[in-house]
Amino acid sequence: MSQPTIGHIISASKLSGGAVKNGDGESLGDIKEIMIDTETGRVAYAVLGFGGFLGMGDKLFAIPFSALRSHLTEPSSFVLNVTKERLTAAPGFDKNNWPDFADRKWGGTIHDYYQIKPYW
């Protein structure tokens, strides 16, 4: 049975693998993971995979979830208002070396890069 999408509420399982595009409609990759802040109950970050070929060599990026906007016609797709060049230059990590998502100093630099006010 398919997980429901109701209004602006969507199942987390539908987000994983969801496409991310910029405002020009260019593909920026897909969501690999959703990171939840268990202290606040908020979705803190979407982990975006970008680059590589067939999933090999992807660079991963922590995107503040509030930087993503729901795609109007595709509920499991998102728009991130950055160019491919800006995303390529963003702080990223590889699949074998994840950052400490609970580190507020690290999180502050990520939010600053995407010009998003931290939620904490």
Convert the pLDDT of each residue in 34-88 to its tens digit: 999 999 999 999 999 987 655 556 799 999 999 999 876 776 789 999 999 999 9
How confident is the model at residue 7, as a pLDDT? 57
Tokens at residue 1, please?
Answer: 């049975």
**Helix or strand or coil: residue 10?**
strand
Residue 56, class by beta-carbon neighbours within 10 Å (0-12 exposed, 13-18 middle, 19+ buried)?
exposed
Q: Which residues of 63-77 are buried (b: 16+ CB within 10 A; e: fewer)?
A: bbbbbbeebeeebbb
Tokens at residue 77, please?
Answer: 């797709």
Residue boundaries of the structural domains of the chain: 5-113
The reported pTM is 0.86
Decide if pLDDT at 10 tops 80: no
Tokens at residue 80, please?
Answer: 């991130």
Give the CATH architecture of domain 5-113. Roll (2.30)
Question: Given 3-state DSSP classes, what are the helix, strand and coil percentages for the chain, each rounded to the nearest 5?
Answer: 20, 35, 45
Tokens at residue 19, please?
Answer: 């496409």
